Structure 1
Amino acid sequence: MNIGATVVFSVLFLLVTVLGFVAAGWRRGNLDELAEWGLGGRQFGTIVTWFLLGGDLFTAFTVVAIPALAFGAGAVGMFAIPFCIITFPFIFIVFPRLWRVAKQRGYVTVADFVHARYRSKTLALAIAVTGILALMPYIALQLVGLEVAIGALGFDTSGLTGDMPLAVAFAILAAYTYKSGLRAPAMIAIVKDILIYVTVIAAAIIIPGQLGGFEHIFAAIPASKRLLRPPTASGLADYGAYVSIALGSAVATVLYPHAATALLSSKSGNTVRRNMVLLPIYTLLLGFITLLGYMAVAANVRGMPEFAKYFAAYGNNFAVPALFLHFFPSWLAGLAFAAIGIGALVPAAIMSIAAANLYTRNVHLAIVNPRMTALDETRVSKLVAVFVKIGAIAIIFGLPVSYATDLQLLGGIWIIQTLPTVVFGLFGRTFDPRALLIGLFSGLACGTWMVAQQHFKTSVYTLHFDGYAIPLYAAMWALLLNMIVAGALSVPAWMRGAASFTGLSGSGDSLRDEA
């Protein structure tokens, strides 16, 4: 066990635990109201929202998995940079409009908006269930990041005894989330982001200095992994996958319920816009995080005997912790692992709150008990947030880690299928709700089938047209089918609407009334 690192890790973990409970009295409001507990009273300003979104979108799994991808696959791992560049303008356009509508009409979830826009409980229920199912493996993967950090400290994370630290961490998380709601991750996110920045800046200075500089680091990357394979006369090679994964990841990030929860907690639409101007700072940070994978290749951490058992247990996900253990002093390694561990707790808290709000407002209220009071809603949401965390722990404890990763592949594909309903609905009632529902199910089935055909080893599916191979992120193929089905089935509704409008042409007054 690394005693120095463990002490620093424990102190910082204790600090955020205290902050989680103290947050209940921060920006005091009635936490028996769902908007106060689940959205922080919609009162977070630019700075708090910036930290909250940073903690929400840049998770522990981001810090561990993206460098691991660069470590194993090379240039493909750099997809995270254009993914961020696409994400922020998308949010800038879409979410201020959603925020305004949600604020005016008291919506807590995106499914609330869907229900009101299309007057369809069934469509809102489908959107809510899709969001909950997509979130569950995402929460579980935060546990994977936390488990890697705890294992790097020297703890045995196998067996029942090894599961205890994870269980205790999530029990504490459940307790202060139950008490403080969204205020807890908002306050803790400030500490988490500061720790992440300190860690990455230290790594960008210390590690290249000991490896002979960035020139030596890039020279150590095999030529086959330094660049993407270019398109050929018969296919797009890596380009189609690279571009579609970047685009699909950006869309998925915006549509995940926890992103909506964080953004709807802002105090104004302009707060959202200002954050989209400031959040690209994280893109620069993510660039250096990705480069940690290249640094791990240059340092040959996989060939270091002291890390052999860890790579056997965690695979490429241990590349970044190995770097920290090898190059950082003990106290700084502890700080880095605390950043990863706390980076798991913040998004896990927001995700569980988002899932609980969806269940309460769009499943329980719609089906189980339509007569719930506002107090009942909050009580149900608090309990569901606890059960969601228990479910995430069950996924990790009951299934191999590879299953959680497989489910997360599906989660990203599933959540993108809500785009026609949610995003297009913000700018007009273009599609018929029944057509959207059938399109949604078509996209979900198609995306799931494509990933299953690849035996869950990749989310890229290659279609062949006239001898030309087009590899794309399966979510994009499924979304294309989704929109084609929804559009085709909406044509009769468009024709009925056009006929109804034409029938009014004989009366100018009636026409103006309809408009």
Structure 2
Amino acid sequence: MIDHLNWPATLVFIGFFGLVTVLGFFAARWKTADLNDLAEWGLGGRRFGPVISWFLIGGDLYTAYTIIAVPAVVYAIGSYGFFAIPYTVLIYPLLYLTFPRLWSVAHRKNYMTAADYVFGRYNHRGLELAVAITGLLATMPYIALQLVGMEKVIQALGFEGQGWLAHLPLTLAFVILALYTYTSGLRAPAMISFVKDIMIYIFVIAAIIVIPAKLGGYGAIFDAAGAILDAKASASGGKVAAGLLLSPQQMAPYATLAIGSAMALFMYPHAMTGLLCASSASTIRKNAIALPAYSVLLCFIALMGYMAHAAGIKVDNPQDAVPQLFLKMFPSWFAGFCFAAIAIGALVPAAVMSIGAANTFTRNVWKPFINPAIGPRQEATLAKLMSLVVKVGALAVILFMPTKFALDLQLLGGVWMIQIFPAVILGLFTRWFSGWSLFTGWAAGMILGTWLAWGPTAWVPVHKLFDTDIGVYNGLMALAANVTVATVLAALLPNTAPDETKAADYEDPPLGEITILT
């Protein structure tokens, strides 16, 4: 089991993992508050200032699986894997224009989830439940894939095992995560994100300087990667569109996948949690301006797929490319540092995802449909317990479900999440749509998107647009159907349901109404 461990790398890995474990439990004492209050446990009291929010949102969105998966796609097929770069640029203008309004109304009305807001705006329990269930379905495989990223670096350390022993380190790590998340709530990932993000910036900066220097520069890297990808495309007889540049048939799928992914990202419960815990609408605007720094970082991370080719890395699973690249190009101790950064990069989003899912289940499933009389302290207790259940469920996905199936579900999650975009975003600017029209549109989009995506052997991300050769992301095609149905029904059925919000609720509250946690 440990006969082939890389001990220098393993000791560094364990040291940093121990550090963030201590920080996770210490976070309960950070700016002490009543963590039996769901707003304090699940949203940090809505008091995270610009700096804390920048680290937390960045740590929440740019995950361990991102660091493993994006360069893995680039390693496998080349330029198409860079779609993650434009989509993480497109989201920030959207964030700047829309989410300060959502934060303001959520602050005034004590909304803690997207589904809270949707019910307050449209007074439609079915739509509230639809938004909540969509988020829960999409989050579970997303958490599981953070474990995939963590497991890849544990395997790269040399840990071996059979059966359940193969997952023992991962299980122990997730038990520790579950305990300090239960204890400290959102404060734990907020504090750990400082360590995680600094570590990732250090290893990425080192990688983009040291690795090209050892491989003869970026020109040599692109030449080597291009030759390998061209050979792969030729060997497949044109079935694999691999290369340094997009082929003509890849351009429309690339663009629509980037646009659709951008529209879906902040609909996830964990992304919503990362925003609603901000101290002000101004904090969100500042982060919309500053967060693209992570997109620059992601661009360098994606290039590691090309670096792996130039370094002669040969792996059966592209997800092993980055760990093997670090082992080959860096001293063992620094490889351990990089692996620790990636593993910690799994803990932060997994914690926020489980908290976001727990908040959503408690507020929008249990309270309205099972126990409307539940009190504030009972809400917090239930959310803490649900955060444990969510983590156990994600771990079970890794232990008992093929990773390929989990990946398909996570990719399908993006198609699902974009279907709540009309209810959340359009509702910030107009009340013309009704709850029934949006609910029916959501159902149409979910059915069409799932049908389009579920191929005979694997998840299919794009389909041809009618009889053309233009490929379009399934999520956008389903969204078009969603909006069309909602628009037609809204025109036929006037909106008569009460709206508990008013125009002034969407404007920035005075500074005297808010408290900042720094």
- Residue aligning to 1:296: 308
**Residue 49 of structure 1 aligns to which amino acid in structure 2?**
S
Equivalent pair of 2:50/2:287 in contact (CA under 8 Å): yes
Task: Show CA shifts across 1:205-258 (max 9, x none).
Answer: 11101110000011111355011112xxxxxx1111100111111111111111
CA apart distance, 1:462:
1.9
Q: Secondary structure at the match of 2:374?
A: coil
- Residue aligning to 1:234: none
The 1:32–1:218 alpha-carbon spacing in structure 2 relative to 1, beyond 3 Å, is: same
The 1:473–1:157 alpha-carbon spacing in structure 2 relative to 1, beyond 3 Å, is: farther
Task: Show CA shifts across 1:36-81 (max 9, x none).
Answer: 0000011111110000011000000110000001001101011111
- Residue aligning to 1:507: none
**Residue 483 of structure 1 aligns to which amino acid in structure 2?**
V
CA apart distance, 1:276:
0.9
Task: Show CA shifts across 1:325-371 (max 9, x none).
Answer: 00010111000000110000100000000000000000000111000
Instruction: Determine the C-alpha separation between the residues in 1 that align with 2:455 and 2:163.
Output: 32
Instruction: Determine the C-alpha separation between the residues in 1 that align with 2:207 and 2:496.
Output: 62
CA apart distance, 1:428:
1.4
The 1:111–1:326 alpha-carbon spacing in structure 2 relative to 1, beyond 3 Å, is: same
Equivalent pair of 1:293/1:320 in contact (CA under 8 Å): yes
Matched, 1:212 2:230: no
Match of 1:225 among 236, 239, 243: 243
Q: Sequence identity, in percent? A: 50
Instruction: Determine the C-alpha separation between the residues in 2 that align with 1:352 and 1:343.
Output: 15
The 1:489–1:157 alpha-carbon spacing in structure 2 relative to 1, beyond 3 Å, is: farther
Q: What are the residue-to-residue correspondences of 1:126-165 with 2, within 5 Å?
A: 126-156=130-160, 158-165=162-169
Matched, 1:481 2:481: yes
CA apart distance, 1:488:
1.1
The 1:158–1:318 alpha-carbon spacing in structure 2 relative to 1, beyond 3 Å, is: farther
Matched, 1:29 2:50: no
Instruction: Determine the C-alpha separation between the residues in 2 that align with 1:29 and 1:36.
Output: 7
Equivalent pair of 2:12/2:337 in contact (CA under 8 Å): yes
Q: Which runs of 4+ in 1 moved over 4 A?
A: 494-497
Instruction: Determine the C-alpha separation between the residues in 2 that align with 1:298 and 1:480.
Output: 42
In structure 1, the gaps of 5 or more residues are 231-236, 303-310, 498-515
Match of 2:9 among 5, 12, 34: 5
Q: Secondary structure at the match of 1:429?
A: coil
Task: Show CA shifts across 1:69-116 (max 9, x none).
Answer: 100110101111111110111111111100000101111111000010
Equivalent pair of 1:87/1:250 in contact (CA under 8 Å): yes
The 1:196–1:105 alpha-carbon spacing in structure 2 relative to 1, beyond 3 Å, is: same
Task: Show CA shifts across 1:17-38 (max 9, x none).
Answer: 0000000011211111100000
- Residue aligning to 1:193: 197
- Residue aligning to 1:305: none
| Larger displacement relative to structure 2 (191-200 or 75-84) | 75-84
Match of 1:242 among 234, 254, 261: 254
Instruction: Determine the C-alpha separation between the residues in 1 that align with 2:187 and 2:459.
Output: 38
**Residue 11 of structure 2 aligns to which amino acid in structure 1?**
V
Q: What are the residue-to-residue correspondences of 1:378-397 with 2, within 5 Å?
A: 378-397=380-399
Instruction: Determine the C-alpha separation between the residues in 2 that align with 1:457 and 1:298.
Output: 30
- Residue aligning to 1:69: 73
- Residue aligning to 1:502: none
- Residue aligning to 1:308: none
Q: Secondary structure at the match of 1:464?
A: coil
Matched, 1:334 2:336: yes
TM superposition score normalised by structure 2: 0.91
Task: Show CA shifts across 1:237-285 (max 9, x none).
Answer: 1111100111111111111111110111110000010011111111110
CA apart distance, 1:158:
4.6
**Residue 389 of structure 1 aligns to which amino acid in structure 2?**
K
Greater helix content: 1
The 1:330–1:80 alpha-carbon spacing in structure 2 relative to 1, beyond 3 Å, is: same
- Residue aligning to 1:279: 291
**Residue 323 of structure 2 aligns to which amino acid in structure 1?**
P
Q: What are the residue-to-residue correspondences of 1:352-501 with 2, within 5 Å?
A: 352-453=354-455, 455-465=457-467, 468-494=468-494
Instruction: Determine the C-alpha separation between the residues in 2 that align with 1:415 and 1:319.
Output: 30
Matched, 1:254 2:266: yes
CA apart distance, 1:463:
2.9
Q: Secondary structure at the match of 2:377?
A: helix
Task: Show CA shifts across 1:450-502 (max 9, x none).
Answer: 1113632431222332xx222111111111111111111111124999xxxxx
Q: Secondary structure at the match of 1:461?
A: strand
The 1:432–1:158 alpha-carbon spacing in structure 2 relative to 1, beyond 3 Å, is: farther
- Residue aligning to 2:500: none
Matched, 1:268 2:280: yes
**Residue 192 of structure 1 aligns to which amino acid in structure 2?**
K
Matched, 1:179 2:183: yes
- Residue aligning to 2:505: none
Equivalent pair of 1:151/1:157 in contact (CA under 8 Å): no
The 1:496–1:124 alpha-carbon spacing in structure 2 relative to 1, beyond 3 Å, is: closer
Question: How many residues end up aligned between the 2 structures?
Answer: 479
Task: Show CA shifts across 1:171-230 (max 9, x none).
Answer: 100000000000000000000001100110111011101110000011111355011112
Match of 2:51 among 43, 47, 59: 47
Equivalent pair of 1:150/1:157 in contact (CA under 8 Å): no
**Residue 492 of structure 2 aligns to which amino acid in structure 1?**
P
Equivalent pair of 1:44/1:265 in contact (CA under 8 Å): yes
Instruction: Determine the C-alpha separation between the residues in 2 that align with 1:208 and 1:227.
Output: 20
The 1:298–1:457 alpha-carbon spacing in structure 2 relative to 1, beyond 3 Å, is: farther
Equivalent pair of 1:424/1:430 in contact (CA under 8 Å): no
| Larger displacement relative to structure 2 (78-87 or 64-73) | 78-87
